[in-house]
Structure 1
Amino acid sequence: MAPYRVEPGGLTLHLRVTPNAGLDRIEGFETRDDGHEVLRLRVKAVPDKGKANAAVIVLLAKALGTSKSQISVVSGDTARQKTVFIAGDPGILAAAVAKLI
């Protein structure tokens, strides 16, 4: 199962985030024990008052070539497992996510 789902007006991306890491980076796709795939991210920000979520949005925006305002956390605000929605052309976004491997 792919870590993203094409939606009208964008795509939904499933993440596994590790906050308080040494540096911000995208580690690639990972298959979880339940068979679902997620995109693994590490961010330097601490998980306090949305700082880690903001760092995730900045990292994804840079990697996908979109603006920060096009990305929003739709579930998992306080969890390591997150789902984000990225607004834009679904075909272009899916191709950009595929390049993150």
Structure 2
Amino acid sequence: MLRECKEGTLLDIIVTPNAKKTEIVGRDEWRNRLEVKVKAPPVEGKANKEIIKFFSKLFGDVEIVAGEKSSKKTILIRKPLKEVEEILNSLI
């Protein structure tokens, strides 16, 4: 779910669009991904924009680096792995 890379930390997520609110639901241990619900629909990049906005509030500089057209995405967080782990552990 979390991997260190030279630019920061990679976070694997699985997204459910059209939710009542945007939130982290928990960890999907079977898929080894963070489960995220997004209020926006998966149309014209709206869900991706909401994901970026949501994770930017938590971590600062982020971008989707894989899965732009999939429910399974990888996000690059430009922070050290340890710092990302601490933030996520406080949320889940």
TM-score (norm 2): 0.88
Provide, for residues 30-82 of structure 1, a one-character-per-residue CA deviation record: whole Å limited to 9, x for no partner: 122xxx411000111011111101111111222x2x32xx1111111011111
Return structure 1 stretches of 4+ with deviation > 6 angstroms.
Answer: none
Structure 2 equivalent of residue 5 of structure 1: 3
Q: 1:52 aligns with which of 47, 53, 78?
A: 47
Please tell me whether the aligned partners of residues 8 and 90 of structure 1 are also in contact (alpha carbons under 8 angstroms): no
Amino acid in the other structure paired with 1:45: A
Does 1:93 pair with 2:84? yes
Q: Percent identity?
A: 32
Structure 2 equivalent of residue 72 of structure 1: 63
Cα RMSD, aligned residues only: 1.4
Does 1:37 pair with 2:55? no
Structure 1 equivalent of residue 19 of structure 2: 21
Q: How many residues align?
A: 92
What are the ranges of 5 or more consecutive residues in structure 2 without an aligned counterpart? none
